[in-house]
Amino acid sequence: MKIVEIKHPLVKHKIGLLRDMHISTREFRQLAREIGSLLTYEATSDLPTEKITINCWSGPTEIDQIQGKKVTIVPILRAGLGMLDGVLELIPNARISVVGIYRDEETLQPVPYFQKLTADLDQRLAIIVDPMLATGGSMIATIELLKASGCKHIKALVLVAAPEGIEALKKTHPDVDLYTAAIDQGLNDKGYILPGLGDAGDKLFGTK
């Protein structure tokens, strides 16, 4: 399994700002979106390109364009919506497949409650976005429902990943590539990532 922890100074700086317990909702939203863009830039660096000829002002000119493969972005509700605009800034034509899953607070098991996927998933690269990979349960459930609908090529983009979630993902779906802005220390007894960000959904939506 490919695991990429982005070491770029801009990413490190922005993830550090996100950890401030006094961060405002507005700042949290802006940083989640910006890091979403930077993760997308890295995650798409291996997309194949092909040469085509266009009419440039100076005459026919060969240019590079991204080959064949189309993209669907998959935000996991709610918190994944906080990264969606950042991905769309770089891939504005992408289809969006929405998955609603929350984590039961007691059992930490993922509970699916919504899904609306784009039709031709077997021909698309799916880019799943969710700020937090904690136990990995929500991400794994999302990957399973995408694969059940024919999806064959999946990348997961998260702001913060716990080693426990990475291990679970490695075991179940080694074919999925993971891009993260930080790999943190681990989970506390309530399944929250340490040092982490706290509850990303509540911070993005201003709830609690």
Ligand X SMILES: O=c1cc[nH]c(=O)[nH]1
User: In the complex, which residues of this chain contact ligand PRP (CB under 6 A)?
Assistant: 76-79, 102-103, 108, 110, 130-139, 165, 191, 199-201
Annotated ligand binding at 131? The verdict is yes
Cα–Cα distance between 73 and 125 in angstroms, integer? 8
- Least separation in angstroms between residue 136's CB and ligand X is 10
Going 64 to 8 to 192 to 178, the CA torsion angle's sign is: positive
Q: How far is CA 33 from the centre of its chain?
A: 11
When the beta carbons of 42 and 199 are compared against ligand PRP, the nearer one is 199
- Count CA within 13 A, CB hemisphere, residue 198: 15
Binding mask 107-146 vs ligand X (x if CB under 6 A, - otherwise)? Answer: -------------------------x-x------------
Q: Which residues have CB under 8 Å from 98's CB, separation 6+?
A: 74, 75, 77, 114, 115, 116
Going 207 to 133 to 12 to 34, the CA torsion angle's sign is: negative
Q: Is 202 a catalytic residue?
A: yes
Q: How far is CA 44 from the centre of its chain?
A: 12
Structure-token pair, residue 107 = 């059992």
Residue nearest to ligand PRP (CB): 201
When the beta carbons of 75 and 117 are compared against ligand X, the nearer one is 75
Annotated ligand binding at 135? The verdict is yes
Going by the annotation, the residues of the binding site for 5-phospho-alpha-D-ribose 1-diphosphate are 78, 103, 130-138, 199
Note the residues at the interface with ligand X (CB under 6 A): 132, 134, 191-193, 196, 199-201
Going by the annotation, the residues of the binding site are 78, 103, 130-138, 193, 198-200
Residues labelled as active-site residues: 103, 107, 199, 202
Note the residues at the interface with Mg ion (CB under 5 A): 199, 201
